[in-house]
Amino acid sequence: MPQPLIRLMLVVTDPVNITGSLISDTIRLAINKEAELNILCVLPEIAEHYASLDIPKTEQSAISTARSHLQHHIDALDTQCNIPADKLSVDVVFGKPFIEIIRHCKNRKISLVIKEATKESWLRRMLGSSDMHLLRKCPVPVLLLREPALPPPENILIAVDFDRDDPELAYDPLNKRMLELSIALFDSSTTHYTLLNVYASPQAGFVGLFADDPETAMASLEADEKRFKQGELNMLLHYLQASYISPPVFKRVFTSLIQGRAEEQIPRQVQQSGCDLLVMGTVARTGIPGLLIGNTAEDVLLDISCNVLALKPPGFVSPVT
């Protein structure tokens, strides 16, 4: 079974409160996937108005201290985390976290970013947190963790979508990539996957205003939408079974088709299913440069408590340079 190539993982660590469990878990994942691991620590910039400081010298001192601190934690890990020296690297930089992470992804050709979610105040979450900026603008998949650890997920919910206007090109590659990456990273004999599609017929209410029998017209449109989405789910399963997923893995792939609003139903399904990882695609808002995660995805991410793996559609270009 072909797997997405995961060459270099990036784990972002807090410069002060370094969590050994997160580092050890990501090292084990990198060893298991035969990938390289880069540990990145982003220090806050030293304000220029501190005229009494020799800023270049102070920055070099801070970088040296942070590197030593990180290396101390790495050296203290158990023997199961003995990754070859040429497979592990540590970088310490100054700047805004989401900008430096994205630049690092571009410069180092990162395959996956792993980061603990920042604990933000309600107001800061509403105005735009560093994590939301990262999810909007990062060109590679981002695994955002609610806690500073990475236990292997066993119940993975994958939110897939389909486009009537361009079903062949708009979402199919992203839907397939979401499942492929989930399997490549986390598959085990106990892992199971649910492909979830939440559908609604936006035209139903509009048509109902003019139809002689509004209830019948709306029901007909909703039934047609359900048939379309079920057909797309079936086609996705057929592709996966025929060309990608081995029979033992395919037995652990399920589907769920639910009517309603995605921003309401996805968090509800996360809670009801007890899933420990939600996999989502992020799409552009038409005509608004720089805001590159859909309104629905933002609403969902602010209303769930499990880990999230967020992917961009093919052809995405980050606005961060």
Q: What is the pLDDT of residues 208-259, one digit of tens each?
A: 556 566 677 777 888 888 998 899 899 889 888 887 788 999 999 999 999 9
Q: What is the pLDDT of residue 138?
A: 93
DSSP 3-state percent helix, strand, coil across the chain (nearest 5): 45, 20, 35
User: Which among 225, 307, 233, 317 is positioned nearest to 270, based on CA atoms?
Assistant: 307
First CA to last CA distance, the chain: 36
The CATH code that applies to domain 153-321 is: 3.40.50.620
**Tens of pLDDT, residues 121-151:** 444 454 457 888 898 889 999 999 988 889 9
Q: What is the pLDDT of residue 290?
A: 36
Return residue ranges of the chain for CATH 3.40.50.620.
1-151, 153-321
Look up the pTM and report it: 0.87
Overall residue count recorded for the chain in this entry: 321
Contact 136, 292 (CB under 8 A): yes
pLDDT higher than threshold 80 for residue 56: no
Q: What is the pLDDT of residue 295?
A: 65
Contact 111, 58 (CB under 8 A): no
Q: What is the pLDDT of residue 77?
A: 81
Percent of the residues in the chain that have a pLDDT greater than 90, as a whole number: 42
pLDDT higher than threshold 60 for residue 299: yes
pLDDT higher than threshold 80 for residue 36: yes
**CATH class of the 1-151 domain in this structure:** alpha beta
Q: What is the pLDDT of residue 20?
A: 73
Beta strands 277-281 and 253-259 are: unpaired
Max CA pair span of the chain: 78
Q: What is the pLDDT of residue 300?
A: 81
